[in-house]
């Protein structure tokens, strides 16, 4: 596993991995995760690029939360812009996974000079397209945790109790339910900064991009045909309204993002997409 390097961004000692050779590329991981989960993804990208993969603030134990406890996706985009500026990364491809894709869209919108092209894996684009039956069950609890009061303290205590395994039996799908995955999920839950997790989750659940604000960055949007979190067909229509230079690919994968560390077998399901992205320049 490539070792972390550290750079100070906005006063935060920020850990990141630098892997591969070739032109630089920025990889942005997903919510309540770190680059270790995404390592096989990063290593595949590193066959063609020098991949810079920062550990996003508060999403794991690697980089501390933002000092002001602001967890909006736009705050993460500003942070990533500063990361690129400090490391001298200019006009580069960006790969964003789920939450990382939202951040990439905001970078393309706010700092278009940074983004040469982007590929967005399983990235929500409108809160209206989420699986509302599932979200209804969690959004209220998340909002209470985000306040940092009694519910927050109870949730933190719960995560260190034997009952957490009961919760994970519900949260983790049967086909993913192995001891390795359960232990990984327990570790991730205990490492994430809970205020960051809850407040950034609220921002993700309120995702909204205005179709009147065109983003001209060449973009590939990649979806799983069986996404568990949002409506893929409606999302594609919204993407087509916002990105004039867009290619869409739907992969017959079982998952939005699997639980646990990603496997080489999972990455192979997206091999055609990686090859397309290397050559992709947008529409003439």
pLDDT digits (tens, 9 = 90+) for 40-57: 999 999 999 999 999 999
> Of 202, 231, 254, which residue sits at a domain end?
202
- In whole angstroms, give the CA distance from residue 43 to residue 7: 21
What per-residue confidence (pLDDT) applies to 228? 84
Q: What is the CATH number of the domain that holds 233?
A: 3.40.50.1820
Residues 38, 68 within the same domain: yes
Residues 79, 107 within the same domain: yes
The three-state DSSP-derived secondary structure of 67-107 is CCCCCCHHHHHHHHHHHHHHHCCCCEEEEEECHHHHHHHHH
Residues 239, 187 within the same domain: no
Residues 60, 169 within the same domain: no
Q: What is the mean pLDDT of the chain?
A: 93
- In whole angstroms, give the CA distance from residue 76 to residue 91: 18
Residues 12, 103 within the same domain: yes
> Of 154, 175, 202, which residue sits at a domain end?
202
Residues 18, 58 within the same domain: yes
pLDDT reading at 284 higher than 70: no
Answer whether residue 284 is part of any domain.
no
What per-residue confidence (pLDDT) applies to 255? 79
Task: Report how many domains make up the chain.
Answer: 2
pTM for this model (two decimals)? 0.96
Tokens matching residue 249: 């690919």
- In whole angstroms, give the CA distance from residue 91 to residue 24: 9
Residues 223, 103 within the same domain: yes
pLDDT digits (tens, 9 = 90+) for 155-170: 999 999 999 998 898 8
Residues 181, 124 within the same domain: no
Residues 120, 16 within the same domain: yes
* Domain boundaries, position 170: 132-202
* Stretch (H or E) spanning 219: strand 219-224
pLDDT digits (tens, 9 = 90+) for 6-50: 999 999 999 999 999 999 999 999 999 999 999 999 999 999 999
Residues 234, 119 within the same domain: yes
> Of 202, 228, 262, which residue sits at a domain end?
202
């Amino acid at each position: 596993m490539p070792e972390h390097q550290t750079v100070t961004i906005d006063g935060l000692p920020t850990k990141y991995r630098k892997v591969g050779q070739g032109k630089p590329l920025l990889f942005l991981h997903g919510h309540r995760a770190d680059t270790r989960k995404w390592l096989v993804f990063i290593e595949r990208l590193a066959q063609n690029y020098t991949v810079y993969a920062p550990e996003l603030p508060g999403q794991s134990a690697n980089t501390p939360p933002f000092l002001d406890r602001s967890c909006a996706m736009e705050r993460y985009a500003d942070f990533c812009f500063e990361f690129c500026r400090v490391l001298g990364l200019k006009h580069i491809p960006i790969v964003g996974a789920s939450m990382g894709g939202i951040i990439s869209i905001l970078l393309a919108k706010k700092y278009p000079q940074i983004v040469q092209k982007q590929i967005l894996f399983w990235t929500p684009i409108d809160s209206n397209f989420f699986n509302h039956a599932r979200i209804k069950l969690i959004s209220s609890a998340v909002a209470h945790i985000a306040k940092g009061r009694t519910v927050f303290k109870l949730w933190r205590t719960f995560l260190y109790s034997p009952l957490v395994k009961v919760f994970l039996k519900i949260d983790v799908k049967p086909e993913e339910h192995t001891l390795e995955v359960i232990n990984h999920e327990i570790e991730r839950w205990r490492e994430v900064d809970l205020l960051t997790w809850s407040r950034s989750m609220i921002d993700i659940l309120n995702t909204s991009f205005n179709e009147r604000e065109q983003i001209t960055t060449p973009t590939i949007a990649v979806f799983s045909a069986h996404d568990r979190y949002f409506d893929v067909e409606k999302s594609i229509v919204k993407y087509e309204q916002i990105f004039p230079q867009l290619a869409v690919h739907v992969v017959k994968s079982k998952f939005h993002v699997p639980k646990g560390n990603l496997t080489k077998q999972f990455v192979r399901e997206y091999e055609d997409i990686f090859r397309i992205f290397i050559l992709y320049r947008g529409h003439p």
